[in-house]
Amino acid sequence: MMKVILLTVLAVSAAGAHAAGDAVTLKGDFTWGKPKKGKPAKGDKVSAVFTAKEAGKYDVVFTAKWKKKDQVFKGTAEGSLDNGKLTGKATYKDGRTWTFKCDVKDGQATGTHYAFKKGTESKRSNGTLTISK
């Protein structure tokens, strides 16, 4: 199932720029879909590893639980993990892609994730993501 995820909080180190090879691991929870008939949206665990390639550029790996199994999305991100903007794209082995765009302030990022399969955005899977060190 494709997911569009609203990124609500992404807490990260406020130590400044990250040198090439430095990795920042973030863990938390995500939800997808909308609450129905008074029940909360479905959710599970997620982690993200941002590995610095050069100033402001990262390789990123998201590992999300989906139906009790890990799904790993790999891609790239650009921007700041501390203050500023952070954008990126990560793809699952079946071709599903998450794109994300965040505003980061004092080590916390808020923004949105969008899911695409074969170039088509999934709008029914809006959700939230909260991850931190």
pLDDT tens digits, 49-105: 999 999 899 999 999 887 788 999 999 999 988 888 988 999 999 888 888 888 877
Round to whole Å and give the CA distance between 55 and 45: 29
Task: Determine the pLDDT at residue 7.
Answer: 41
Task: Determine the pLDDT at residue 42.
Answer: 75
What lies within 8 Å, CB to CB, of 120 at 6+ separation is: none
Round to whole Å and give the CA distance between 114 and 32: 11
Contact call for residues 49 and 133 (beta carbons, < 8 A): no
Task: Determine the pLDDT at residue 15.
Answer: 41
Task: Determine the pLDDT at residue 112.
Answer: 72
Tens digit of pLDDT for each residue in 26-51?
Answer: 777 777 767 788 877 777 787 889 99
Task: Determine the pLDDT at residue 50.
Answer: 92
Task: Determine the pLDDT at residue 28.
Answer: 72
pLDDT tier at 119 (50, 70, 90 boundaries)?
confident
Would you say how long the chain is, in residues?
Answer: 133
Looking from the CA of 105 toward its CB, the CA atoms found within 13 Å total: 4
Looking from the CA of 116 toward its CB, the CA atoms found within 13 Å total: 10
Q: Which residues pair with 43 in a beta bridge?
A: 31
Round to whole Å and give the CA distance between 78 and 12: 15
Token pair belonging to 39: 């029940």
CA distances from 72 to 17, 38, 48, 92, 124 (A): 26, 31, 10, 6, 21
Task: Determine the pLDDT at residue 13.
Answer: 38
pLDDT tier at 131 (50, 70, 90 boundaries)?
low
